[in-house]
Structure 1
Amino acid sequence: MSSMMEPPLLNRADADGVYNKITSFEFVFILHLMRDIMGTTNDICQASQHKSQDIFNAMHLVSTTKALVQKYREDEWIPLLENVQLFCGKYDIDILDMSARYTSGRGRACHQRDHITIEHHFRVDIFTIICDSQLQELDNRFKEDVMELLILSPALDPRDDYSSFKIEDIIKLANQFYPNDFTE
């Protein structure tokens, strides 16, 4: 007898259920959305792994990533939907009627309070929420004042005979972050 418990074997109904889920329009839609968002944010993940990445470039990358996610949120709904529909058509996955009424879960539509379309569900409840959560995560991890402090801090770097020394940045650093510690 093995000391490790073995997982139960899937029966045919379980396998069919899993197959139906992974070949659903919603599953394909979410995978495409994740791929697109990860493609947008991947550069920042890669850069954060390089110790040689300088602070200015990293902060620029954060700002660029935020702008790209915002642009994706504003401009890429229709291209995303078209790509998902093309993919579903190519692999014989049922394409949903976006103008049909959306019903959540397995319950009956008459018990649902809101009368929304399937397109509204995918666009607002999934697409927009995921884009907004990515933007919120970037904002939480990289607050503007912290980014500004990190961008200005190389002005105090003594390496290479203070080659990064910029009096304007030092004045800005003192005025913005340490106003009570310095006099005119």
Structure 2
Amino acid sequence: MKLVSTTKSLLQNLRNEKWEHFLDTVKSFCEKNEIDVPDMNARYTRARGRSCRQNEESFMTMEHHFRIDVFIAAIDFQLQELDNRFSEHVVELLCLSAALSPQDAYKSFKIDDICSLVEKFYPQDFTEQEKIILRFQLDHYKLDVPKHSDFQNMSTLSELCRGLAISGKSKIYNLIDRLIRLVLTLPVSTATTERAFSAMKLVKTRLRSRMEDEFLADNLVVYIEKEIAKDFTTEMIMDEFYSMKNRRR
């Protein structure tokens, strides 16, 4: 999350202060590779067929076009994409989730952050009584798990979750184990959603715009899980279809 924040700052600095340096770098590259460099002070004319305001165009130079319409537009798009993917809500969720991480000898472990994670993002998964018990479990967990030999040198939540299950401590710290499992579903749910939207653009095209929701969902499942679906044979599908109800083959 710190890298996301610093990336935004660097992009903003590039947008506001680094145009001249960027332009010099591009010119140097073009000269070395014998690429023609347009006169930046020349008047810029848009391609025919595009709507434009002639009064503005008459004062637009090539440099203005490349800086505003290309350079700044590209950076603004990247900043917008970062804001969409890492909103304040998402950043807070990921930062609070990091309090459960066993990395660097449980350096990020903070009871208050873990309780805030449950209160803000998983209120429906824990009752009010369980939220109180969770804090007591965390007090014991802090003095037990990080110092236990079986839980040393762990770096991921999945390793921690597996270790709790193998050692039986998932029953002792059942609420903490539940929270860890909920956090572990975050990458899966996000990836599944992104894959579904990407697949939808390919399956439901302009020519298939009247496709019913149920038929669309069935097609998306087959497309998204094509690695699994490729192992299905026609005979397997026929047998499954026939087992649902007595039918003529």
Please classify the TM superposition score into its range, dividing by the shorter chain length.
Answer: 0.5 to 0.7
Separation (CA, whole Å) in 2 of partners of 1:93 and 1:160:
51
Q: Which residue in 2 is equivalent to 1:125?
A: 69
Q: Which residue in 1 is equivalent to 2:38?
A: 96
Structure showing greater relative contact order (alpha-carbon pairs closer than 8 Å, 6 or more residues apart): 1
5+ residue gaps, structure 1, are 1-58
Separation (CA, whole Å) in 1 of partners of 2:64 and 2:98:
47
> Over residues 84-124 of structure 1, what are the superposed CA-to-partner deviations in whole Å (9 max), with x where a residue is unaligned?
112222333322221221101257xxx84522111110000
More helix by share: 2
Q: Which residue in 2 is equivalent to 1:82?
A: 24
Separation (CA, whole Å) in 1 of partners of 2:114 and 2:19:
43
User: TM-score, with normalisation over the residues of structure 1?
Assistant: 0.54
- Contact 1:88 / 1:94 at 8 angstroms: preserved in 2? yes
- Aligned CA RMSD, in angstroms, stands at 3.3
User: TM-score, with normalisation over the residues of structure 2?
Assistant: 0.41
Deviation, 1:151, is 0.9
Aligned residue-pair number? 124
What percentage of residue pairs aligned between the two structures are identical? Answer: 54
Aligned partner of 1:152: which letter?
L
Choose which of 129, 132, 143 in structure 1 pairs with 2:87: 143
Separation (CA, whole Å) in 2 of partners of 1:125 and 1:151:
36
Deviation, 1:74, is 1.7
Task: Note the 1:28-107 alignment, pairs <5 A.
Answer: 59-105=1-47
Q: Which residue in 2 is equivalent to 1:152?
A: 96
Q: Which residue in 1 is equivalent to 2:181?
A: none
- Contact 1:104 / 1:112 at 8 angstroms: preserved in 2? no
5+ residue gaps, structure 2, are 133-249
Structure having the higher Rg = 2
SS across alignment from 1:114: helix
- Contact 1:85 / 1:95 at 8 angstroms: preserved in 2? yes
Aligned partner of 1:127: which letter?
F
Q: 1:99 to 1:144 in 2, by over 3 A?
A: same
Deviation, 1:166, is 0.8
- Contact 1:156 / 1:165 at 8 angstroms: preserved in 2? yes
